[in-house]
Amino acid sequence: MTTKATNAKSAAWDLIGSQFWEAGRTSAKPSPEEIGLFLREIPPGARCAVIGASTKDLIEALIGRGAVVTVLDFSARMCTDLAAALPAGACQVCQLDITAEVPAELRGTQDVVLSDRLINRFSDTELQRGLTGMLELLAPGGQVRASVKMGLYPMDERMIAIGTERGCLQDFYRPADRVIDFAAAGEVLVDALLAHGQIPAPTLLDWYRGRGREKRVTHEDMTGLIAAVRGNGRALRLVEFSEFPQAPQTTMYVAEASDATGEG
């Protein structure tokens, strides 16, 4: 199944493709220990959707476990590059924006929906839509497992410091709700840019600009969002959350599909 991407951010990821896992920084990918937390108690044959084709290591681990894997990503290049990097027929790779409407044929089909720091790429208006899409994919009793980096990234902090010094912070950052807009940052983005492995700086700059607006979240944001999500007459119930031991300020949230009252 292939759908047309309608999210303008997909063009940014078309610039990156397989460079993310081949040349990007190691800390942007889940460690073996973190992958183990994602895979905990997932049996062979479980239907698992991974949101984000960039998470190649997690996808390969699920395939190795014997899960029936579907990968969803809004970028055509990310989908094409991932499919080329995996054995033929290893999993289904679909171009789909999880913040848009989930096709009827995918609703209620997945036992586990996994995403690694994908939520950090969402804008303030995309957050609830993205979680709703994940819920709509779940079969009854299925789980969302999503890791999230809490607060600001080091490059965010550099941009905020430079923007404050130059008196232009308001052009690209809203401190009240921690929304940063890379497309509006101008020369601040250029001067604050940090290396991302071996990805060339010009590509990185275009990638960040194309990513546009992103919200930096707190634990309170996440628990509130999970509690508010509704889809197909169902809700998400937070089951547990735990910090990644090797990734500072990164938490994995596990939430289960329940009826709309949250009773399970």
pLDDT tens digits along 186-228 = 999 999 999 999 999 999 999 999 999 999 999 999 999 999 9
- 244: CATH: 3.40.50.150
Q: Based on the fold, state whether residues 161 and 143 are members of the same structural domain.
A: no
| Helix, strand, or coil (residue 22) | helix
Q: Based on the fold, state whether residues 142 and 209 are members of the same structural domain.
A: no
Backbone torsions φ then ψ of 239, nearest 5 degrees: -95, -45
Taking the C-alpha atoms of residue 126 and residue 159, their distance in angstroms, rounded to an integer, is: 23
Q: In what order do the strands lie in the sheet with 213-215?
A: 173-174, 179-181, 213-215
Give me the mean pLDDT over the 16-38 stretch.
90
Is 241 part of a structural domain of the chain? yes
Give me the mean pLDDT over the 240-245 stretch.
94
Give, for 190, the enclosing helix (H) or strand (E): helix 187-192
Give me the mean pLDDT over the 247-259 stretch.
95
Contacts of 27 (CB under 8 A, 6+ apart): 247
DSSP 133-167: HHHHHEEEEEEEEEEEEBS--HHHHHHHHHHHHHT
Q: Based on the fold, state whether residues 145 and 182 are members of the same structural domain.
A: no
Q: Based on the fold, state whether residues 125 and 172 are members of the same structural domain.
A: no
Count of domains forming the chain: 2
Q: Based on the fold, state whether residues 180 and 208 are members of the same structural domain.
A: yes
Give me the mean pLDDT over the 135-150 stretch.
98
Is 5 part of a structural domain of the chain? no
For residue 184, give its domain range: 154-215
Proportion of the chain above pLDDT 90, given as a percent? 89
Q: Based on the fold, state whether residues 192 and 119 are members of the same structural domain.
A: no
Taking the C-alpha atoms of residue 145 and residue 68, their distance in angstroms, rounded to an integer, is: 16
Q: Based on the fold, state whether residues 36 and 88 are members of the same structural domain.
A: yes
Give me the mean pLDDT over the 123-150 stretch.
97
Q: Based on the fold, state whether residues 188 and 83 are members of the same structural domain.
A: no
Is 25 part of a structural domain of the chain? yes
Give, for 11, the enclosing helix (H) or strand (E): helix 10-16
Is 60 part of a structural domain of the chain? yes
Taking the C-alpha atoms of residue 215 and residue 221, their distance in angstroms, rounded to an integer, is: 10
Whole-prediction pTM: 0.94
